[in-house]
A and B are shown apart, each in its own frame.
Chain A
Amino acid sequence: MIWAVLQFPGSCDERDALHACEVHGDGARLIWHESRDLDGVDGVVVPGGFSYGDYLRAGAIARFSPAMEAVAEAAEAGAPVIGICNGFQVLCEAGLLPGALLRNAELRFRCHQVELIEEGTGERLSIPAKHGEGRYYAPEEMLDRLEANGQIAYRYADGHNSNGSVRDIAGVTNERGNVLGLMPHPEHAVDPLTGSTDGLRVFDRVGRVAA
């Protein structure tokens, strides 16, 4: 599986995402935000960072890039797409994922290892989180629909929801299930040196869609 990792002005986690994709798959390449070229790509990562300095709203400007237009088309065609942190914000702003990410309830940027619980399987993952605007929000009726459709992908384990996300939601998918967004960073958990390789299971989950 060949991955593409987008790069916007202000992205900072695209390098680790690239490395994670290379560990997980058969190759990966960086796509500059002005390019629409996803030729030969099986899956896309919209990485973490501070695209456009989080100006206006995090992800609000990056969503209009040519690369994101290509990603929207690929997502529509069923390609696996994973949005990590700022990438999650971009996908929500683009309407490719439901809901929105708001400023952490405690107003503090938190950088720490968190435990996630995969919805359905109950498996626990240990993944680093580092964000100031990671509070997931959606109106109640939308949340009920997401729960009913199985679109909640991950929740923060008890005591690990440090941003105030509604219903402890850490990650969601689109209706079809090929687009996943999550605030924590699986790309920082692919090597035993950093304490956890659970991040690879997130790439596995999304990668399975391509099969």
Chain B
Amino acid sequence: MLIRPKEGILDPQGKAVERALPALGFEGIGKVHVGRMVELEAEDPERLGELCEKLLANPLIEDYEIQTL
């Protein structure tokens, strides 16, 4: 699961990373956001959405995406 800060909410971590990039010689990179990644094995993928909504993400401030590897 990829958990991202919601659009429109200040993401100071993302901004800090973005601001550091030119000093490291990287140009032309913007819209940096720092989120979280949770990996797991689930026998039944049906309730994963509920798991994301209830625990892994806070829907007020985060969006999530479930990927099957």
Q: How far is the CB of A98 from chain B (nearest CB, A)?
A: 9
Counting chain A residues whose Cβ lies within 8 A of the other chain, the interface size class is 10 to 19
Q: Is the CB of B58 within 8 A of A164?
A: no
CB-based contact A105/B12 at 8 Å = yes
CB distance from A202 to the nearest CB of B (A): 25
**In the bound complex, CA of A116 to CA of B33 (Å):** 32
Query: What residue in chain B is nearest A164 (Cβ atoms)?
Result: B10
User: DSSP class of B's interface residues: helix, strand, loop or mixed?
Assistant: mixed
Give the contact-size bracket for chain B: 10 to 19
Of A61, A100, A135, chain B has the most CB atoms within 10 Å of the CB of A100
Among A56, A100, A107, A139, which residue has its beta carbon within 8 angstroms of that of B16? A107
A57 within 8 A of B: yes
Question: Are A100 and B12 closer than 8 Å at their CB atoms?
Answer: no
Q: Which of B13, B55, B58, B60 contacts A103, CB < 8 Å?
A: B13
**Other A-B pairs, 13, CB within 8 Å; known A102-B9, A105-B10:** A56-B56, A60-B55, A61-B55, A64-B55, A100-B60, A100-B61, A102-B61, A103-B12, A103-B13, A104-B12, A107-B12, A137-B9, A137-B60
